[in-house]
Amino acid sequence: MLSGKVALVTGAGRGIGKAIALSLAKKGAFVIVNYCGSEQKAQETVAEIHFHGGRGVACQCDVSDFSACKEMIDLLIKEYGHIDILVNNAGITRDGLVMKMSEEEFDEVVNVNLKGCFHTIRHLSRQFLKQKSGKIINISSVSGIVGNPGQANYCASKAGVIGLTKSVARELGSRGITVNAVAPGWIDTEMTGSLPEAVKEKLKGQILLGRTGTAEEVGEVVAFLASPSADYITGQVISVDGGMAL
Ligand code: NAP
């Protein structure tokens, strides 16, 4: 379904990004597994892609760095000739109550989660316009829709991702480029693993389906949005949250 397509997935060495990379590769895409600090994990993702008969490479870049993103994307276009799918998945948390939050904690989260999406879209959109095709999928969060105490920085960044998604969808739609966001709820990864048990129990009570989600369940939705089956879907925010934000 995605054979011949080249996909760039940011933060794909572990967690949701890894599952997205595997889903896209299983559907035939050549996957560029971006990582920031976890080179070994990224190489393991690539090895898993190869194990399943897919194709991919690892590629280091800090998405919060505007120039580094340009360098990465220019290099990838030179090497592969085209990029067809961009998944902005890289994300971090620096939780704390707003009254105690440092400027650095706020900026760091916004720089990776929101500006990271801007950087890759900024540098890739000219190529997408040239190709008159492209699929952009940004990973937002249920927290960006309903807010969360202790996560003002994170929620602001993820709400920003939704605004960015809708604006870019409006800008690029006439050239056949689709731009959508996926808003996961509580997905079991390293990011959520460190939550205190009491918070976990409280959150679980808010999920209509009564369980947490898996990274693979997010990966499948992203792969659908990247596929021709979703050609008529743009500017949308698809929640994958077990009904948490209903
Ligand atoms: P995770 O396990 O902590 O993984 C985060 C990923 O982001 C890692 O691969 C990491 O790569 C990458 N990353 C961090 N900073 C980066 C940077 N500056 N440049 C490039 N990559 C960077 O988190 P996750 O749970 O899989 O989350 C993935 C995405 O889903 C995030 O955007 C997160 O906000 C969103 N999300 C998660 C949940 C959830 O419940 N887990 C819910 C809603 C939304 P390195 O290890 O190489 O640094």
Residue 59 has a pLDDT of 98
Looking from the CA of residue 92, the nearest atom of ligand 1 is: 14
Closest ligand 1 atom, CA of 14?
A: 9
The string of pLDDT tens digits covering residues 169-209 is 999 999 999 999 999 999 999 988 877 788 788 888 999 99
pLDDT in tens, 120-179: 999 999 999 999 999 999 999 999 999 999 999 999 999 999 999 999 999 999 999 999
State yes or no: pLDDT of 14 exceeds 80. Answer: yes
pLDDT tens track for 83-130: 999 999 999 999 999 999 999 999 999 999 999 999 999 999 999 999
The protein residue with its alpha carbon nearest to ligand 1, atom 19, reads: 62
Residue nearest (by alpha carbon) to ligand 1 atom 10:
11
Q: Report the pLDDT value the prediction gives residue 203, as an integer from 0 to 100.
A: 83
Task: Give the pLDDT confidence score for residue 77 in this predicted structure.
Answer: 98
Any atom of ligand 1 within 6 Å of the Cβ of 154:
no
State the average pLDDT over residues 52-57.
98
**According to the model, what pLDDT value does residue 3 have?**
97
Residues 46-61 have a mean pLDDT of 98
83 lines ligand 1 (CB under 6 A): no
Mean pLDDT of the region 71-93: 98
Q: So what's the pLDDT on residue 43?
A: 98
pLDDT value, residue 197: 83
pLDDT confidence of residue 45:
98
For residues 98 and 153, what is the distance between their CA atoms, to the nearest angstrom? 8
Question: What pLDDT is stored for residue 193 in this prediction?
Answer: 86
